[in-house]
Amino acid sequence: MSRKKKDLTKELAQELDVFDSMLTALVELLEEKDILTQEEWENKIRAKLGKSIKSFRKIEFADTK
């Protein structure tokens, strides 16, 4: 993988980490207010995405050994 592509991949991974933190904070706030539980949140995600959820990182880095 070229240096530029690795840099872009790293930047994207960092942005995804930020979004993950933001969503986690939102769900925690909803839990604290007794609006939603973590389990309800996860079930909703599974229902929307289906059973074939794959990690982007696993897909992206599968060929880089």
Residue 18 backbone dihedrals phi, psi, to 5 degrees: -65, -45
CB-based contact 54:3 (threshold 8 Å): no
Residue 21 is predicted with a pLDDT of 96
Whether the model pTM is above 0.85: no
Which residue shows structure tokens 């995600």?
45
Split into its structural domains, the chain has a count of 1
Question: Does any domain span residue 10?
Answer: yes
Residue 64 is predicted with a pLDDT of 59
Question: Does any domain span residue 23?
Answer: yes
Residue 36 is predicted with a pLDDT of 94
Q: Which distant-in-sequence residues (6+ apart) come within 8 Å of 30 by Cβ?
A: 36, 41
pLDDT at 65 over 60: no
At residue 35, what is the residue type?
I
Question: Does any domain span residue 65?
Answer: no
Q: Residue 20 and residue 14: Cα distance in Å, rounded? A: 10
Host domain of residue 26: 3-60
8-63 per-position pLDDT tens digit: 999 999 999 999 999 999 999 999 999 999 899 889 888 887 755 566 666 767 76
Residue 50 is predicted with a pLDDT of 72
